[in-house]
Amino acid sequence: MTTTAMQAQPDIGLEYAVYTFKSSEQNQVNARIWERKATHGELLAAINQADELFKTGRYLKVEIKQKYFDRKKKRNTDVTLRVWGAHRFKGIKREAVVIAVSALCGLAVFVMAYTGF
């Protein structure tokens, strides 16, 4: 795409929305509620607000979604970029298990190689 063609196209309209998820203690049904707190034009501002909201302890989850217009599909699309909450360290736990299993396999190969198994 040429420079003039890129300039002629309108802005894709990126925006970052901050959502909070909380459990209502007043409700007998124990309803859980998602609420959009704000929409930002910059990712850093959205991250700062989401971090502050999660640190208050009032929300079970806080997440940032990036919204943009997909020209091929001709519709708005949103992608979750980051989530603060109960499953925040899920990926780290998985990596720790992989590292531990790899270390045990390496130790087993070392013992078998030097003990003659």
- Say which amino acid occupies 81: L
Convert the pLDDT of each residue in 48-104 to its tens digit. 999 999 988 888 889 999 998 888 888 888 899 999 886 545 556 777 888 888 998
SS3 1: coil
CA nearest neighbour of 108 among 117, 99, 96, 97? 117
64 Cβ contact partners less than 8 Å away, ≥ 6 residues apart: 16, 17, 18, 19, 43, 46, 47, 50, 80, 81, 82, 83
pLDDT tens profile 8-47: 344 457 899 999 987 655 444 556 678 999 999 999 999 9
**Residue 12: predicted pLDDT:** 59
Q: Which residue from 85, 83, 64, 77 is spatially nearest to 16, judged by alpha carbons?
A: 64
